[in-house]
Amino acid sequence: MSHLISVQLDVLGGLLAELRALGAELDDEQRTATAAGRSLEQALAGPVGDEARLTGGQWTGALAALAARTLAVAATLDAALAAYRAADLGLAGQLAGGSAGRVGTRAVPR
């Protein structure tokens, strides 16, 4: 049994833009966390500074992984969106070719 999948390409494009922006924000946060970890290590002496550096490093790693995965999902979504748009244009072209001579009919790609 097959199921119908409906995709609103403009909405998907909006989600893609949001994912790209989120990936960029996470990447910026990763750089900020790296700098903060170094600053805390220099500001705090002894084991407290070492612990702050380690914690900053772990947080930086988590942010870097999250940013990379978010951008990977965005790239996958971008490829899917391009494929959907190409398929939609192809279908619209087929419909336009099949409706030749009919008054008032026009295929509109979405």
Q: Average pLDDT of each block of 10 consecutive residues along the chain (110 residues)? A: 80 94 94 86 86 88 95 95 90 75 57
Q: Identify the pLDDT of residue 15.
A: 93
Structure confidence at residue 65 (pLDDT): 96
What is the predicted pLDDT for the residue at 102? 54
Per-residue confidence (pLDDT) for residue 95, from 0 to 100: 83
**pLDDT at 30 (0 to 100):** 92
Sign of the dihedral defined by the CA atoms of residues 72, 75, 81, 86, in that order: negative
pLDDT value at position 8?
85
Domain spans in the chain, listed from the N-terminal domain onward = 70-97
Report pLDDT for 91. 87
pTM above 0.75, yes or no: no
